[in-house]
Chains A and B, each alone.
Chain A
Amino acid sequence: MEFIDPNVVDLSRFQFALTALYHFMFVPLTLGLTFMLAAMETVYVVTGRQIYKDMAQFWGKLFGINFAIGVATGITMEFEFGTNWSMYSHFFGDMFGTPLAIEGLMAFFMESTFVGLMFFGWDRLSKQAHLAVTYLVALGSNLSALWILIANAGMNVPEGAHFDPETMRMQFESFVNLVFNPDAQAKFVHTSVAGYVSAAMFVMGISAFYLLRGQHRQFAARSFRMAALFGIISTVAVITLGDVLGRLDYEKQPTKIAAIEGLWHTSKPPFEPWILAALPDDAKQENHFEVGVPLVLTPLITHTFDQPITGMHELEDAAGPRIRSGIEAVSALRRYGVTHSDADLALFTQHEQDMGYGLLAARHAPNQDVTNIPENQIDTVVKATQPDILPNVFVTFWSFRFMVFLSLWFFALFAISAYISLKRRLEHNKLLLKLCMWSIPLPILATEFGWITAEAGRQPWTVFGWLPTFLSASSHGVSYMVFSLIGFVLLYSVFIAAELYLMFKFARLGPEHDSMEPHAQHAAPKPSAFDMHSTAS
């Protein structure tokens, strides 16, 4: 009998989370900065004022430092589905691979080709042509996000595919359902706009740094104002789309929404409080203490005053019969693979919708084999499997709250900053400038928490309701995982050290050409001393 080592599954999950969270530190900034660069360059092309070209070039340099690691760590993500999630790739690749490949053809190729021209083409292209190139980079990076989130939405709300007992995988059947998956559309806007928030805070924070030091004042004030306005619009959009996503989860992923809200028992509308803070205990399946805001939960999630939200205990109870039926489905499926008899197929079809719940029971079945559970042990296996349908409540609950609290902070900060900046009173508000500066990493943190909410909340599934995470991993030994994990930690540490070094270096240096600063400290840099000397190898 062939086993899946639970340690390998955990290490694979850890590695994927590590590399995805790391990749996602750089992506949001890319998504937003490209559009901000395009906006700055547009003003330059329309008005012909040199300072906006300086802005585009300076922020473009910081963009490049960030972009390189975004590209590098993105390659990892494409590899890992194959290297670590072979069963997932086999089971869902027919559908999941399509948006990934389209991302390459439609978006990534465009972004990567034009980014070269964006950096190298300033003197070779007309103003208009260069502006077009910058827009194509922005379009490419955002289309890239679109297709990745379409793929991701397929994992969360698998629409557009059906399971086929002949090929033992989900067969892709509807491109329209794949692309117009409501989860994909809402997630794309929510996530890419979260990237705009990150970029706005980045530009605003660094501009605040110059204003605090009294350097590049014109340049910084303009960048600050642009970023604050960009930021406030983006934050409003992030919050609105977040609300749409919550409503979608309520319909499609009840376990996720119950965990997000720490709701162990079905809610009693309309007075159910929205829990502001609590200490969810996954083992005891209860919250240790709760601070709530009365009346808020029902309208917030359901957009009505009378619909209940199913609690986690009730969801567990409802899963019992599905697990039992799922075990029937998996057993029939296995027999069908050998006999190809109509009777087995009919039995499978009858229980097909619960197949995923049957697979979920593998972890608790003797020898991880749900097709051979002795009759007298079935009840025990079902009971042991029931709590598995819930994600880790503590993690889901708190990552969601951190994300929400942070987004409210951004809203306040952008609103005040925009107001004061339009009043031209920025330089009198040292505290505000300092807050802006120290808030630079916070939107990136918020997007990370958003990713954790969405993906930890999706557990225990890789394909929601169909394929458990536990069965999705490649059948490696622990030593393989140790090898790759050590490598990732070392390599990614070097990357982040190099990127922070350069980021601080160039942010401190400030814009090279600052046409509004009469005594610019940094004229075009001279070739470094040893450029001309021979360094024989």
Chain B
Amino acid sequence: MELYAILKIVWAVMLGVLFIGLGTMVGMDMGVGTLLRFVGRNDAERRTALNIIGPHWDGNQVWFILGGGAIFAAFPTLYGTSFSVFYVVMITLLFSMILRPVAFEYRSKADSRLWRASWDWVFLVSGFVPMFIYGAAFGNILEGVGYHFGWTGQYYQDESFLSYLLNPFAILCGLMSVSLSIYQGGAMLMLRADNPIWARARHYAIAGGIFAAILFVAGGVWMQFLPGFVMQAPVNPAMLANPLHGQSVAIVAGGWMHNFHNHPALWALPVVGVVCMLAGSAMLAAGRTVVAWWLGLGAWAGTIMTVGCAMFPFLMPSSTVPDQSLTVWNSTASEYGLGCMLAVAAIFVPIILSYTSWCYYVMRGKVHTADVVNDTHSY
């Protein structure tokens, strides 16, 4: 296989890794945000919950930034097109997301009850909405998006945003993503908090895991009947990136299952996902939170890899002009660009992983309510 084709595949895999990291790390923090008003019944408890992720949320959020940055750098045409066709949804995601950094830093810096209660609602919105949209976007993409390209490479939208905002499959995917984030956030709260937060978080996290499993299986069954996108003729994986020509795509009912029919070993992925969700819930019930946290990572990995393998090589299929669907082959950066980025990633990803781990190591151990309230540096 040509180097360019290999680089494309490597970056598609990297994108998957970033999405898994995003789901796990950002999802965890957003789960804590969603649960904040429920696991903390008074101000001191809520501050305890916030300070559990206090030292880490900002670093974790970079998974999100990096996800966007990697799409921009490795799949520039996908980046411009997807962010634009989902404009209303993306802007809503952005609005809900950017409230969060401010909420962390500002919430506990003034004593007014109204001030703090308002920011607690912000945490709920900025935890729930982004995770819902994150999942729903995958749902929308699986269903295909109405767009086509003009000769210059400018995209044109062929359907109103309402048609993809309000549809049941996307809502199911969105709720699944929220459930997993509640699972992961709850597990983190259990790791670092004592009773009563511990007991309440356990309750919600177990429910999150079980709900996620149910929705995942339901979504999988649904996908058997969903119109999927299939390549009509083999394409050259090393083709120059240009979505205007070079491929012929058909829409086939159940088309997303083609890769699973051709490679039955792929069935291991959804199985891993469901097993992690259920086993994780069981571990939480047994109080084994560290194992449960890692099983949450497994659940995200299973889910993202299932979706990725079902769609491969499609990244964002076009429902109106399927031949112009964006794929791993026709929307990547240049060979040179992908190579440069890979070299940079090879150097920095290990560094990032090591200092992130060190950071968690330094801040290890339970967070006690009394310490939080008396510490002037805490949130």
A124 at the A/B interface (Cβ < 8 Å)? Answer: yes
- Taken together as a complex, chains A and B put the C-alpha atoms of A110 and B97 apart, in Å, by 20
- Taken together as a complex, chains A and B put the C-alpha atoms of A84 and B41 apart, in Å, by 42
What is the total of A-B residue contacts with beta carbons within 8 Å?
292
Q: B77 → chain A, closest Cβ, in Å?
A: 5
Is the Cβ of A106 less than 8 Å from the Cβ of B344?
yes
A82 at the A/B interface (Cβ < 8 Å)? Answer: yes
A527 at the A/B interface (Cβ < 8 Å)? Answer: yes
Q: Which residues of A contact B241 (CB under 8 A)?
A: 167
Q: B341-379, CB under 8 A of A: which get 1 and which 0?
A: 100110011001001100100110000000001101110
A98 at the A/B interface (Cβ < 8 Å)? Answer: yes
Quick one: which of A482-536 are within 8 Å of B by CB?
A: 483-484, 487, 491, 495, 498-499, 501-502, 505-506, 512, 524-525, 527-536
Q: B103 → chain A, closest Cβ, in Å?
A: 9
Is the Cβ of A173 less than 8 Å from the Cβ of B109?
no
Q: Which residues of B contact A86 (CB under 8 A)?
A: 80-81, 83-84, 154-155
- Taken together as a complex, chains A and B put the C-alpha atoms of A110 and B358 apart, in Å, by 12
- Taken together as a complex, chains A and B put the C-alpha atoms of A297 and B155 apart, in Å, by 46
Q: A263 → chain B, closest Cβ, in Å?
A: 34
B73 at the A/B interface (Cβ < 8 Å)? Answer: yes
B163 at the A/B interface (Cβ < 8 Å)? Answer: no
Q: B374 → chain A, closest Cβ, in Å?
A: 6
B234 at the A/B interface (Cβ < 8 Å)? Answer: no
Is the Cβ of B76 less than 8 Å from the Cβ of A97?
yes
Q: A90-102, CB under 8 A of B: which get 1 and which 0?
A: 1111111110111
- Taken together as a complex, chains A and B put the C-alpha atoms of A424 and B38 apart, in Å, by 56
A113 at the A/B interface (Cβ < 8 Å)? Answer: yes
Q: Which residues of B contact A139 (CB under 8 A)?
A: none
From B202-210, B276-284, B329-337, give the one contacting chain A: B329-337
Q: Which residues of A contact B55 (CB under 8 A)?
A: 116-117, 119-121
Is the Cβ of B62 less than 8 Å from the Cβ of A108?
yes
Is the Cβ of B54 less than 8 Å from the Cβ of A82?
no
Q: B302 → chain A, closest Cβ, in Å?
A: 26
Is the Cβ of A110 less than 8 Å from the Cβ of B98?
no
Q: A144 → chain B, closest Cβ, in Å?
A: 11
In which size bucket is the chain B interface?
35 or more
Is the Cβ of A505 less than 8 Å from the Cβ of B88?
no
B152 at the A/B interface (Cβ < 8 Å)? Answer: yes
B68 at the A/B interface (Cβ < 8 Å)? Answer: yes
Is the Cβ of A487 less than 8 Å from the Cβ of B91?
yes
- Taken together as a complex, chains A and B put the C-alpha atoms of A501 and B47 apart, in Å, by 21
Is the Cβ of A337 less than 8 Å from the Cβ of B72?
no
B44 at the A/B interface (Cβ < 8 Å)? Answer: yes
Q: A89-B76, A89-B79, A93-B76 are in contact. Are A536 and B69 (CB under 8 A)?
A: no
Is the Cβ of B42 less than 8 Å from the Cβ of A97?
no
Is the Cβ of B82 less than 8 Å from the Cβ of A82?
yes
Is the Cβ of A166 less than 8 Å from the Cβ of B91?
no
The secondary-structure label for the interface of chain B is helix
Q: Which of B61, B84, B377 contacts A84 (CB 8 A)?
A: B84
Q: Which residues of B contact A125 (CB under 8 A)?
A: 362
Is the Cβ of A172 less than 8 Å from the Cβ of B84?
no
- Taken together as a complex, chains A and B put the C-alpha atoms of A192 and B240 apart, in Å, by 38
A65 at the A/B interface (Cβ < 8 Å)? Answer: yes
Q: Which residues of A contact B84 (CB under 8 A)?
A: 82-84, 86, 474-476
Q: A492 → chain B, closest Cβ, in Å?
A: 9
Q: A336 → chain B, closest Cβ, in Å?
A: 10
Q: Which residues of A contact B373 (CB under 8 A)?
A: 527, 531-532
- Taken together as a complex, chains A and B put the C-alpha atoms of A93 and B82 apart, in Å, by 14
- Taken together as a complex, chains A and B put the C-alpha atoms of A499 and B110 apart, in Å, by 11
Is the Cβ of A172 less than 8 Å from the Cβ of B377?
no
- Taken together as a complex, chains A and B put the C-alpha atoms of A337 and B87 apart, in Å, by 29
- Taken together as a complex, chains A and B put the C-alpha atoms of A90 and B71 apart, in Å, by 11
A47 at the A/B interface (Cβ < 8 Å)? Answer: no
- Taken together as a complex, chains A and B put the C-alpha atoms of A83 and B85 apart, in Å, by 8
Q: A102-B344, A113-B59 are in contact. Are A525 and B76 (CB under 8 A)?
A: no
B304 at the A/B interface (Cβ < 8 Å)? Answer: no
Q: Which residues of A contact B355 (CB under 8 A)?
A: 110, 113-114
The secondary-structure label for the interface of chain A is helix
Which residue of chain A has its CB nearest to the CB of B370?
A527
- Taken together as a complex, chains A and B put the C-alpha atoms of A67 and B105 apart, in Å, by 9
Q: Which among A109, A122, A528 has the greatest number of chain B C-beta atoms within 10 A?
A: A109
Is the Cβ of B336 less than 8 Å from the Cβ of A171?
yes
Q: A72-B101, A82-B82 are in contact. Are A109 and B59 (CB under 8 A)?
A: yes
Quick one: which of B42-76 are within 8 Å of A by CB?
A: 42-44, 47, 51, 54-59, 61-62, 64-66, 68-74, 76
- Taken together as a complex, chains A and B put the C-alpha atoms of A334 and B94 apart, in Å, by 36
A88 at the A/B interface (Cβ < 8 Å)? Answer: yes
- Taken together as a complex, chains A and B put the C-alpha atoms of A496 and B206 apart, in Å, by 39
Q: Which residues of B contact A104 (CB under 8 A)?
A: 62, 65-66, 69-70
A73 at the A/B interface (Cβ < 8 Å)? Answer: yes
Q: Which among B83, B95, B97, B113 has the greatest number of chain A C-beta atoms within 10 A?
A: B83
Q: A521 → chain B, closest Cβ, in Å?
A: 15
Q: B75 → chain A, closest Cβ, in Å?
A: 8
Q: Which of A106, A501, A537 contacts B348 (CB 8 A)?
A: A106
Q: Which among B65, B88, B90 has the greatest number of chain A C-beta atoms within 10 A?
A: B65
Is the Cβ of B110 less than 8 Å from the Cβ of A78?
no
Q: B204-233, CB under 8 A of A: which get 1 and which 0?
A: 000000000000000000000000000000
Is the Cβ of A172 less than 8 Å from the Cβ of B94?
no
A389 at the A/B interface (Cβ < 8 Å)? Answer: no
Q: Which of B66, B150, B154, B363 contacts A101 (CB 8 A)?
A: B66
Q: Which of B44, B51, B68, B348 contacts A531 (CB 8 A)?
A: B44
A471 at the A/B interface (Cβ < 8 Å)? Answer: yes
- Taken together as a complex, chains A and B put the C-alpha atoms of A463 and B78 apart, in Å, by 20
Q: B53 → chain A, closest Cβ, in Å?
A: 9
A103 at the A/B interface (Cβ < 8 Å)? Answer: yes
B104 at the A/B interface (Cβ < 8 Å)? Answer: yes
Q: A157-173, CB under 8 A of B: which get 1 and which 0?
A: 00000001011110111
A45 at the A/B interface (Cβ < 8 Å)? Answer: no
Q: Which of B42, B95, B378 contacts A120 (CB 8 A)?
A: B378
Q: B141-166, CB under 8 A of A: which get 1 and which 0?
A: 00000000011111111000000000
- Taken together as a complex, chains A and B put the C-alpha atoms of A69 and B151 apart, in Å, by 40
B320 at the A/B interface (Cβ < 8 Å)? Answer: no
Q: A82-B79, A100-B69, A105-B345 are in contact. Are A119 and B377 (CB under 8 A)?
A: yes
A218 at the A/B interface (Cβ < 8 Å)? Answer: no
Q: Which of A64, A82, A173 contacts B68 (CB 8 A)?
A: A82
Is the Cβ of B62 less than 8 Å from the Cβ of A109?
yes
A112 at the A/B interface (Cβ < 8 Å)? Answer: yes
A87 at the A/B interface (Cβ < 8 Å)? Answer: yes
B285 at the A/B interface (Cβ < 8 Å)? Answer: no
A79 at the A/B interface (Cβ < 8 Å)? Answer: yes
Q: Which residues of B contact A502 (CB under 8 A)?
A: 106, 109-110
Q: A117-B55, A491-B99 are in contact. Are A94 and B333 (CB under 8 A)?
A: yes
Is the Cβ of B79 less than 8 Å from the Cβ of A97?
yes
- Taken together as a complex, chains A and B put the C-alpha atoms of A106 and B347 apart, in Å, by 9
7 smallest CB-CB distances across A and B, nearest first, come from A93-B76, A82-B83, A89-B80, A97-B73, A68-B105, A113-B59, A86-B80
Given contacts A72-B100, A90-B80, A168-B244, 7 further A-B contacts (CB under 8 A): A83-B87, A83-B91, A93-B77, A93-B333, A95-B337, A120-B378, A121-B362
Return 7 A-B CB contacts under 8 Å, by A number: A76-B94, A78-B69, A94-B337, A95-B337, A97-B74, A475-B156, A480-B87
Residues of chain A touching chain B, judged by Cβ–Cβ distance below 8 Å, are: 2, 4, 57, 64-65, 67-69, 71-73, 75-76, 78-79, 81-98, 100-106, 108-110, 112-117, 119-122, 124-125, 164, 166-169, 171-173, 175, 334, 337, 471, 474-476, 480, 483-484, 487, 491, 495, 498-499, 501-502, 505-506, 512, 524-525, 527-537
Residues of chain B touching chain A, judged by Cβ–Cβ distance below 8 Å, are: 37-38, 41-44, 47, 51, 54-59, 61-62, 64-66, 68-74, 76-77, 79-84, 87-88, 90-91, 94-95, 97-102, 104-106, 109-111, 113, 117, 150-157, 240-242, 244, 333-334, 336-337, 340-341, 344-345, 348-349, 352, 355-356, 359, 362-363, 373-374, 376-378
